[in-house]
């Protein structure tokens, strides 16, 4: 939620189009509603493991994202740094999920497919940037390096995910010790 609230602060800075504004507001609202349902509404919140979810998000991810944004950013303006921060925070946001998955050792079908598609989404984003560089000359170090970091975080998961599918275990996959 923090990633998208920071990234879409431009809603208060300038108007692009009704579509752009509407989609950003819908996306933020849907994200907030999803978080609310998962944490506080039955039957959705019954699967949340508060004891297993002990990763210090704010103390670890936010400072690392700030440092990364200062090192690799689009420009030194407040907007450029906040946008870069949101890109880096999104790249690092998978770390708590990795920690939780390794604690669980066994990942169920729906979760494994969801995480695998998140990783593939990032991989195809990299391919999109290669395409854009080749045909449009567009290149952004912040987006590219953050996407490589994020995709790298998914590599271990994707390896075992595809290995489990190949071995005929589509409903669950086990992370080796």
Question: What is the reported pLDDT for 66?
Answer: 93
Q: What is the C-alpha separation between 175 and 161, in angstroms, rounded?
A: 9
How many domains does the chain fold into?
2
Residues 39 and 64 in one domain: no
Question: What is the reported pLDDT for 44?
Answer: 64
Domain that holds residue 128: 54-174
Which comes out higher in pLDDT, residue 46 or 138?
A: 138
Residues 34 and 58 in one domain: no
Mean pLDDT, residues 121-146 taken together: 85
Three-state SS for 12-64 is: HCCCCCHHHHHHHHHHHHHHHHHHHHHHHCCCHHHHCCCCCCCCCHHHHHHHH
Question: What is the reported pLDDT for 67?
Answer: 94
Residues 134 and 83 in one domain: yes
Residues 31 and 17 in one domain: yes
Residues 115 and 42 in one domain: no
22-59: pLDDT as tens digits: 999 998 999 899 888 887 877 766 766 777 777 888 88
61-96: pLDDT as tens digits: 999 999 999 998 888 988 889 989 998 998 898 888
Residues 78 and 35 in one domain: no
pLDDT exceeds cutoff 60 at 173: no
Which comes out higher in pLDDT, residue 4 or 50?
A: 4
The owner of tokens 């108007």 is 15
Q: What is the pTM of this model?
A: 0.78
Which comes out higher in pLDDT, residue 102 or 27?
A: 27
The owner of tokens 């939780």 is 100
């Amino acid at each position: 939620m923090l990633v998208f609230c920071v990234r879409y602060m431009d809603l208060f800075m300038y108007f692009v189009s009704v579509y752009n504004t509407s989609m950003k507001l819908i996306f933020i609202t849907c994200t907030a509603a999803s978080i609310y349902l998962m944490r506080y509404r039955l039957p959705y919140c019954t699967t949340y493991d508060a004891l297993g979810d002990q990763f210090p998000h704010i103390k670890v991810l936010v400072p690392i994202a700030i440092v990364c944004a200062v090192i690799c950013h689009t420009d030194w303006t407040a907007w450029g740094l906040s946008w870069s921060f949101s890109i880096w925070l999104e790249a690092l946001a998978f770390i708590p999920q990795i920690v939780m998955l390794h604690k669980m050792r066994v990942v169920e079908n729906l979760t494994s497919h969801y995480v695998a598609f998140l990783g593939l989404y990032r991989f195809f984003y990299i391919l999109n940037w290669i395409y854009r560089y080749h045909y449009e000359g567009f290149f952004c170090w912040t987006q590219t390096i953050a996407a490589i970091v994020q995709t790298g975080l998914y590599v271990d998961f994707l390896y075992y995910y595809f290995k489990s599918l190949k071995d005929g275990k589509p409903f669950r996959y086990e992370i080796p010790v």
